[in-house]
């Protein structure tokens, strides 16, 4: 389409400047399909087969078949049956997780302004068809391949398609040669590229797989990055499997040396290996993240990148923009200072892209002000035609237009006071004091200028003007932000407000919400270049406001903080926020922001409010805590089973658990309990806790100590009981009690891991925190009862008597009490430490008070 005129393009696509009718668009949608680049979707068969192609599962299948050939059909049926059941459970859970993730994706789809039936509408970008006429503006991601019809100062970043880092200027009037390469097609825009500046009207000529991006889709396909938790679990699992192989192999060799049946020992080793590997952990983590993401939707937060959910609770810094996040983002003109009243109102009307209904907040506020004072801005625009413009850009921090007035040209400029000062031929005396006075009262101040030209300029670089006045805008803080700042401080999260406003205004707003106070620092972005990264990091620990910040300043702040191990959440809504959003640990875009900022972020907040972000981080702490509970529970039971059987083999005793028992226990404990942990409610006040590193939460020293404590207590207790039972009962009876006791013990650990507080402190709260755990145990009880009383022969056990069941309850009770004692010790130690810390703080405050004010007697004598 680049080699045809606009009229020819419209004719070929059978459309017009008024766009398609809705009826025609629906017809074309059936013909061309959705405007989407199809992802490769796995078939149900592939997902089902994956459940049975895990290397460990394959080994188990081979073991089951081998047992059948060796004539041990009992074990064979049990093993292959458990493999089938586990596979179907995994298949169902993966389908549910995929469905939930897909439903989350639909919430974050791109919207686009399109003209249909002659009216402007907003539709889902996937519904665009060839012939649709769309409107593009700064920050938009181009939704399809288009031919430009009109444009104004259009600058497009095509790096994603061409690799060219410098944005390209686009012109609708050009007609190019047919063989013009993509990177020189200056009259077209392409799907996936970003509008950096300006605006345009364009007609869609290719959608979906027919776009340039669609043609490159196979080259662009890549797997989503693994989350820090997934990487950590993957690394731990590899080490764990190696350790297991070494330990189990040694146990098998010891058993053979003791004269035990080698076939039985090999079967035991395989079962023990499969059971001890927490293969269900990845799907449980996915469930936890999906459940968290769905809870976030209720909090007006849309999740684009699911793994980001797990990093929420570990955020140590929030780098927030001001307008629309901390403040209302709905400006109104609070006061003005005119050096030339007429020129000031003319500039406000003409150097303005709003139509009175939509547009930039500043432009809308200016038109509202002009309406209030009775100025006919619409009439002025009709008389004075705009012939040139320089759209607002963040580097110069100004916007400029030229209008034709008779035979002369008039330049009108609005922007930052410092920017217009550098262009002014003469700065009126006292104007700086007026500006500072406005800014100190929290007003956002813009300067306005005018010049008469004899021709249309090429750019704004060499232009000189006369400053005609200042306008102060009020953007009041949002409701709830001050409380959110206090909560974030209490939770150990540092906040930095990064804004393009001048320093005085930024400090005033930060002071209003409690973000900036005595002892805090506020700096300007331009001063950051004076510091090395190490020096800047030390400075940022005390900085609460960064004013006059450029996009590269925000980007550097994020990178410096991350280089020192900080976990950074960044908020943004503009094109220029995209780099910082993309590199942040947690990029949070505003729902009303530019599409490119949304695409660069991990989350989108539909209610642009800092309080929502802080609340979201607190919810993230709940998600992280629940994942850590799952890890602790699963690994505790794995350590128990390994140690228990190891002690029996090393001491020459018969195995306390058969291979089929190990696999069954894995199903009726881990299989029914671990999936319930993601639904655990938060206990206590998350705002009183300090941020923790993800690796510390999930696999830190304290976590590993808990795992070893639980596993060792269970293993030693069961070993002592089993040794005693062997002296009192036949082996089959001791084996039966051991089998039942191991299951109940793991259930008791599962209940204790619901909360970090002692169970006896408030048993009812344990039920309220997570009733689903008990539902899982109830299902486990039914399954275990079937194994004991119906399928006892399959598991090589005997029907237990009341006395046997009594023995089976001893160790689970002791395990429960042992964990309860550990919790009470920790609780009492924590309470004592907190009280001691409070007393130390009180004594310190008294000493400080004494140093500042002196003793009472001294004051009287003076």
User: Is-contact 769 752, C-beta < 8 A?
Assistant: no
In terms of Cβ atoms closer than 10 Å to its own Cβ (0-12, 13-18, 19+), residue 29 is middle
Cα gap 441→326, rounded to integer Å: 16
Helix axes 731-752, 701-728, angle to 10 degrees: 150
**Cα separation of 6 and 16, whole Å?**
10
Q: What are phi and psi of 203, to 5 degrees?
A: -110, 135
Among residues 72, 321, 363, 670, the one annotated as catalytic is: 321
What are the CA-CA distances from residue 817 to residues 75, 751, 836 (Å)?
Answer: 35, 12, 28
In terms of Cβ atoms closer than 10 Å to its own Cβ (0-12, 13-18, 19+), residue 139 is: buried
Per-residue DSSP letters for 720-784?
Answer: HHHHHHHHHS-HHHHHHHHHHHHHHHHHHHHHHTT-SS-GGG-HHHHHHH-HHHHHHHHHHHHHH
Nearest to 388 by CA among 423, 350, 356: 350
CA-to-CA distance for 24 and 628, rounded, in angstroms? 54
Determine which helix (DSSP H) or strand (DSSP E) holds 473, and give its type and residue range: strand 466-474
Q: Long-range contacts for 115-119 (Cβ within 8 Å, ≥24 apart)?
A: 115/17, 115/18, 115/19, 115/201, 116/19, 116/20, 116/21, 116/22, 116/25, 117/18, 117/19, 117/21, 117/22, 118/18, 118/19
Contact 574, 594 (CB under 8 A): yes
549 torsion bin: left (phi>0), alpha (psi -120 to 50), beta (else): beta
Q: Which helix (H) or strand (E) holds 133?
A: strand 133-137
The vertex-246 CA angle with 282 and 701, nearest 5°, equals: 55
State how far the Cα of 29 lies from the Cα of 16, in Å rounded to an integer.
18
Residue 28 to residue 9: CA distance in whole angstroms: 17
321 annotated active-site: yes
What is the separation, in whole angstroms, between the first and last Cα of the chain? 91
Name the phi and psi angles at 503, rounded to 5: -60, -40
Pairing of strands 398-405, 385-393: antiparallel
Helix (H) or strand (E) holding 57: helix 55-69
Looking only at the bridges linking them, the beta strands covering 119-124 and 145-157 are unpaired
**Cβ 232 vs Cβ 310: under 8 Å:** no
Tell me if residue 609 falls in helix, strand or coil. Answer: coil
CA 452 to chain centroid: 51
Task: Give CA–CA dist 217/210, Å, rounded.
Answer: 10
Q: Which residues 6+ apart lie within 8 Å of 569 measured at CB?
A: 312, 315, 317, 318, 319, 584, 585, 586, 587, 588, 613, 617
Per-residue b or e along 811-830, where b marks 16 or more CB atoms closer than 10 Å to that residue's CB: bbebbbebbbebbeeeeeee
Give the SS3 label for residue 346.
Answer: helix
Would you call 285 exposed, middle or buried from its count of C-beta atoms within 10 A (0-12, 13-18, 19+)?
A: buried
Helices (H) and strands (E) in the chain, counts: 33, 21
Alpha helices in 548-700, H assignment, sequence order: 551-563, 578-583, 595-600, 610-650, 659-665, 671-673, 694-699
How many residues are recorded in the chain? 862
- Residues marked active site are found at 321
């Amino acid at each position: 389409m680049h080699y045809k005129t606009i009229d020819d393009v419209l004719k070929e696509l059978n459309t017009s400047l008024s766009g398609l009718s809705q009826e025609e668009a629906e017809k074309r949608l059936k013909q061309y399909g959705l405007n989407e680049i199809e992802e490769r979707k796995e078939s149900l068969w592939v997902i089902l087969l994956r459940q049975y192609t895990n290397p460990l599962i394959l080994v188990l299948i081979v073991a089951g078949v081998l047992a059948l050939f060796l004539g041990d059909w009992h074990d064979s049926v049990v093993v292959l049956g458990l493999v089938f059941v586990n596979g179907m459970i995994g298949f169902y859970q993966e389908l549910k997780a995929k469905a939930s993730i897909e439903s989350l994706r639909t919430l974050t789809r791109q919207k686009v302004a399109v003209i249909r039936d002659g009216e402007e509408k907003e539709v889902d970008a996937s519904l665009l068809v060839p012939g649709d006429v769309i409107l593009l503006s700064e920050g938009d991601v181009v939704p399809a391949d288009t031919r430009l019809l009109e444009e104004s100062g259009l600058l497009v970043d095509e790096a994603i398609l061409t690799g060219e880092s410098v944005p390209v200027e686009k012109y609708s009037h050009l007609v190019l040669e047919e063989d013009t390469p993509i990177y020189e097609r200056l009259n077209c825009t392409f799907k996936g590229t970003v509008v950096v500046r300006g605006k345009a009207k364009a007609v869609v000529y290719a959608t979906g797989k027919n776009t340039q991006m669609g043609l490159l889709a196979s080259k662009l396909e890549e797997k989503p990055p693994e989350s820090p938790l997934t990487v950590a679990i993957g690394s731990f699992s590899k080490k764990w499997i190696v350790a297991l192989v070494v330990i189990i192999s040694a146990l098998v060799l010891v058993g053979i040396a003791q004269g035990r049946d080698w076939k039985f020992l090999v079967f035991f080793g395989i079962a023990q290996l499969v059971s001890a590997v927490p293969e269900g952990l990845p799907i449980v983590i996915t469930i936890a993240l999906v459940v968290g993401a769905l809870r976030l939707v209720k909090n007006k937060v849309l999740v684009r990148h699911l793994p980001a959910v797990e990093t929420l609770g570990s955020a140590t810094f929030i780098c927030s923009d001001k307008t629309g996040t901390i403040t209302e983002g709905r400006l109104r003109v609070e006061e003005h200072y005119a050096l030339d009243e007429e020129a000031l109102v003319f500039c406000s009307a003409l150097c303005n892209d709003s139509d009175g209904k939509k547009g930039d907040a500043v432009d809308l506020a200016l038109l509202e002000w002009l309406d209030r004072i009775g100025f006919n801005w619409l009439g002025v625009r009709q008389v004075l035609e705009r012939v040139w413009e320089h759209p607002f850009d963040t580097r110069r921090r100004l916007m400029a237009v030229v209008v034709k007035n008779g035979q002369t040209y008039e330049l009108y400029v609005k922007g930052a006071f410092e920017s217009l000062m550098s262009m002014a031929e003469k700065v009126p005396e006292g104007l700086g004091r007026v500006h500072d006075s406005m800014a100190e009262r929290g007003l956002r101040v813009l300067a306005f200028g005018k010049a008469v030209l004899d021709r249309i300029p090429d750019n704004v670089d060499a232009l000189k003007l006369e400053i005609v006045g200042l306008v102060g805008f009020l953007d009041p803080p949002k409701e709830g932000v001050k409380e959110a700042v206090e909560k974030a401080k209490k939770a150990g999260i540092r906040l930095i407000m990064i804004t393009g406003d001048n320093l005085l205004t930024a400090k005033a707003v930060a002071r209003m919400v409690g973000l900036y106070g005595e002892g805090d620092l506020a700096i300007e972005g331009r001063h950051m270049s004076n510091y090395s990264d190490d020096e800047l990091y030390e400075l940022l620990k005390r900085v609460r406001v960064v004013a006059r910040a450029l996009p590269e300043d925000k980007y550097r702040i994020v990178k410096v903080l991350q280089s020192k191990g900080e976990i950074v959440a960044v908020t943004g809504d503009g094109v220029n926020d995209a780099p910082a959003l993309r590199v942040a640990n947690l990029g949070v875009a505003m729902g009303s922001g530019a599409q490119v900022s949304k695409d660069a972020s991990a989350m989108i907040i539909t209610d642009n409010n800092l309080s929502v972000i802080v609340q979201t981080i607190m919810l993230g702490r709940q998600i992280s805590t629940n994942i850590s509970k799952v890890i602790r529970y699963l690994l505790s039971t794995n350590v128990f089973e390994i140690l228990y059987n190891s002690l029996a083999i090393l001491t020459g005793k018969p195995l306390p658990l058969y291979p089929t028992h190990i696999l069954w226990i894995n199903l009726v404990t881990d299989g029914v309990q671990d999936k319930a942990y993601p639904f655990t409610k938060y206990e206590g006040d998350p705002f009183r806790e300090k941020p923790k590193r993800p690796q510390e939460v999930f696999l830190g020293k304290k976590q590993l100590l808990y795992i070893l404590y639980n596993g060792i207590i269970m293993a030693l207790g069961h070993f002592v009981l089993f040794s005693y039972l062997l002296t009192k009962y036949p082996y089959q009876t001791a084996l039966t009690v051991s089998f039942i006791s191991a299951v109940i013990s793991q259930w008791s650990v599962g209940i204790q891991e619901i909360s970090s507080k002692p169970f006896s402190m408030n048993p009812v709260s344990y039920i309220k925190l997570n009733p689903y755990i008990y539902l899982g145990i109830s299902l486990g009880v039914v399954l275990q009862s079937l194994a004991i009383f119906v399928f006892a022969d399959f598991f090589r056990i005997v029907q237990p008597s009341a006395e046997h069941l009594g023995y089976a309850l001893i160790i689970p009770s002791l395990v429960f009490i042992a964990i309860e004692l550990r919790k009470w010790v920790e609780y009492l130690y924590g309470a004592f430490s907190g009280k001691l810390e409070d007393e130390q703080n009180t004594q310190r405050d008294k000493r400080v008070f004494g140093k500042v004010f002196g003793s009472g007697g001294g004051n009287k004598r003076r």
